[in-house]
Structure formats: C-alpha cells, structure tokens
C-alpha cells in the first residue's frame, strides 16, 4: 500500500493518522483512545452544486439508493447487520458533498467499514427498489414543500443564485425525480463516485495498523477513471425577490446577503458577527423581535459556506400582519450595528460562545469525523483544531466590522413563503 502515515498531536492531545491508497482514496483518522466508539464517514465530492439542470436531484436520489442493496447485501441485510451490533448508519446530501457514515463500538469497526465501502462501491440500483424509493423521495419533496420554513430557504437560494447550480434544490424537482431511470442514476454515480474524489474520515478508538489493513481490504479494489469534476463558479446575486403564496398561519421570511467561502479566514469574523446579530438567545435580533416586541417565535441568522462561495441569511417566522414591521426592525438593527458596532461585552461573549461551542464539539466523535472529512474534501487538508481556536481568538472588533460592511451593505435578496407572500413580489 502506497501510504502516507503521519501522527500529529492536536490541541486536545488526539493523534491523527493519514493514508493514501494506490487508487487515490484519502483516509484520515483521529485516535481518541478514551472512547469505546468510532465514527466513520465516506465523503464523496458530489452534491447539487455539481449538477446540471437536467441532473438536479440525482445526487440525493443516489444517496437514498445506496441503502437499497448491493452485490453482497440486500436492503434488509444492510439494516439487520448494523442493527445487530447496535450501530448507527445514515447518509446526507449537501450542496457540495455527499456523506455515508456510521457509528459503532470499536470492536465492530470492520463491519462498519465493510458496509460503507459496499454501499458506496457496489450499490446495484435494483429497478424494483428504485421505483419504491422514488416514491419515498417524492414524499420527501412534498414534505419540504409543506414545510414553509424549509421552502423559504430553497426560495432564498433561487433568489441569490438564479439559474446557477447553487440555486437548485438538493432534492430536485418532483417531475424530474419521477422520470429518472436506473441508467440515469448509474451513469451519474459512475461519473462522480470515484476514489480520487472521496475521503474516508474516522474518529474514535481504533488501531492504526488495523484500519490501514481494513481500508486496503474493503476500499482498495475500488477503481474509477480520472476525475472529470468541475466545481462551477457561482456569483451571489443581490436585490432579487422570490415569493410563494401558501395557505399557512405564518409568514416565513428570509433575507440573503453575500458571504464567504468555506475555509477562508473571514469565516471566523463572520461567526462572531453572527452570534451578536442573531445566532444566540442573547443576540440583538432575538432580543428585539422576540423578547421585546413578541413578534416572532423563531428568528435567527446564519452563515452558509460552500466551496468557493458563501452567503449570509436572516430568517423569521411571523404573523402576516407583522411582516412589514419585522422587516423594518431587522433593517434598523443592521443599520445600528453598522453605525455603532458592538459593545465590548457582546464581542467578548460572542468569541467565548464560539470557542466553547467548538471545544464541546470536539467531545463528539461524529463532529470530529464531519469536520475532518469535509475540510479534507473541499480544502485538501483536515481541520487543525489548534489553529481553529487560535483563529477565533485572533478575531478583533475591527475584523468583525470589516466583514459586516462587506456583507450587510449589499442589497439583500428576499424570499417569502406563506400567507400574504405575494405582497412582497417584485
């Protein structure tokens, strides 16, 4: 095995291992010997961001189908084998990645690696299972449509990216999902599920020599052509509106601004800003609109960071009669923030929240696995915990206000779903 093995002591005294298989598959691990469990995930560099309009929804559909039988296991056997050891098996599709992951007791690590490799490499896409699962995915699309909070975020993506691939819903349009064939899924999977575009990350209690042998045994036979991956360049649009009238009790509103790409230095200053504005219970928007005015149950802000690009959003679920007032209050709070900045206490508390949240996340093998897998897939290297903490500590008030003026002075996009939404159409 042509491997690269490194041991590095992280900020929390974990040991990190890295291997590269001859087929190009990258494997990264963080050893946590005080645990009895291990989390393992296979990260494929494919999501709705990589889909053409004609392919929209295929990444997500395939993520469902890898559970529906392989050349070695039936759909029932996949479920029974994992349940028999009390393990957890799941997957998700994002804009820029797909992940199939498991969590098991350390003594069952071989089974978890075997099942994940089998699903990723050997899924058969059986016609009967495909037709059944198509119904499941269509129900998921309907559920998303019936959830105005989920729907309004899809509408915001459409407003901010238009016909670009980041404007597409991860689930895809129902009419296309209803028409996809087995050949469509297999062709797409064979094009994108490649060892050179996959990272396997694991965190927990394991023996490096055993993992190295297991990766070679179960993933070493995976063959794939040269990657044809192209990550489309995207541009965040401004000032656009997308609305959808629905018979709901609430009006759901999202404002969208440009943000910063995954892995860039500015994401830490944005995270500090986010906690001050709407990322915590003590944040300005939460306190003003929910606690003081009583006009919303749910209001929050959030950064989205993708490969090469990012966005910043504000969400509120409110009574239709309060729509204009809430938008005015949000605008007023943002202008006040840009004009007056933060208090020293807000700045200190926000950084402490970030640092504490990050350190508490390190207590979860699943959180470690996810951070390591996505960072390696998109940035080419795993997250360095010590550097992340240092980057949070290094944020200054001036850095926060600099990114605030870059983000919040743009004309926002507006997405509205629910009763009275048509009032906000362009």
Catalytic residue numbers, as ranges: 63
Three-state helix/strand/coil letters over the chain: CCCCCCCEECCCCCEEEEEECCCCCEEEEEECCCCCEEEEEEEECCCHHHCCHHHCCHHHHHHHHCCCCECCCCHHHHHHHHHHCCCEEEEEECCCCEEEEEEEEHHHHHHHHHHHHHHHHHECCCHHHHHHHHHHHHHHHHHHHHCHHHHHHHHHHHHHHCCCHHHCCCCCCHHHHHHCCHHHHHHHHHHHCCHHHEEEEEEECCCHHHHHHHHHHHHCCCCCCCCCCCCCCCCCCCCCEEEEECCCCCEEEEEEEECCCCCCCHHHHHHHHHHHHCCCCCCHHHHHHHHHCCCEEEEEEEEEEECCEEEEEEEEEECHHHHHHHHHHHHHHHHHHHHHCCCHHHHHHHHHHHHHHHHHHCCCHHHHHHHHHHHHHHHCCCCCHHHHHHHHHHCCHHHHHHHHHHHHCCCCEEEEEECCHHHHCC
């Amino acid at each position: 095995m042509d491997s690269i093995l490194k041991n590095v002591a992280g900020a929390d005294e974990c040991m990190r291992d890295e291997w590269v298989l001859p087929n190009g598959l990258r494997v990264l691990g963080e050893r946590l010997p005080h645990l009895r469990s291990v989390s393992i995930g296979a990260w494929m560099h494919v999501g709705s961001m990589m889909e053409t309009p004609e392919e929209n929804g295929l990444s997500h559909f395939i993520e469902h189908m890898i559970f529906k039988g392989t050349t070695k296991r039936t759909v029932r056997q996949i479920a029974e084998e994992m349940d028999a050891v009390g393990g957890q098996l799941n997957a998700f599709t994002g804009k820029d990645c797909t992940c199939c992951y498991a969590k098991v007791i350390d003594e069952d690590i071989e089974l978890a690696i075997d099942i994940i490799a089998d699903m990723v490499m050997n899924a058969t896409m059986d016609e009967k299972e495909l037709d059944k699962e198509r119904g499941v995915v269509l129900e998921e699309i309907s559920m998303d449509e019936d959830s105005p909070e989920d729907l309004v975020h899809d509408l915001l993506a459409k407003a901010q990216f238009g016909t670009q691939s980041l404007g597409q819903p991860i689930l895809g349009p129902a009419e296309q999902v209803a028409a996809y064939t087995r050949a469509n899924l297999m062709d797409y999977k064979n094009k994108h599920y490649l060892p050179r575009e996959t990272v396997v990350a694991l965190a927990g209690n394991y023996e490096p020599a055993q993992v190295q042998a297991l990766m070679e045994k179960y993933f070493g036979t995976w063959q794939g052509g040269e990657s044809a991956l192209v990550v489309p360049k995207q541009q965040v649009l401004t000032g656009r509106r997308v609305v959808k009238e629905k018979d709901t009790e609430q009006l759901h509103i999202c404002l969208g601004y440009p943000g910063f790409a995954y892995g860039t230095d500015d994401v830490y200053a944005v995270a500090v800003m986010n906690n001050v504005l709407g990322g915590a219970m003590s944040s300005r928007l939460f306190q003003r609109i929910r606690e003081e005015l009583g006009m919303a149950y749910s209001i929050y802000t959030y950064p989205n960071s993708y490969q090469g690009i990012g966005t910043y959003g504000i969400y509120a679920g409110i009574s239709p009669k309060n729509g204009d007032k809430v938008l005015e209050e949000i605008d007023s709070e943002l202008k006040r923030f840009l004009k007056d900045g933060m208090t020293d206490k807000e700045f200190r508390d926000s950084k402490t929240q970030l640092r504490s949240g990050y350190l508490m996340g390190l207590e979860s093998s699943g959180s470690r696995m996810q951070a390591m897998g996505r960072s390696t897939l998109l940035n080419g290297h795993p997250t360095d915990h010590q550097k992340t903490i240092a980057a949070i500590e290094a944020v200054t008030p001036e850095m926060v206000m600099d990114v605030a003026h870059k983000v919040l002075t743009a004309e926002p996009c507006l997405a509205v779903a629910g009763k009275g939404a048509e009032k906000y159409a362009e």
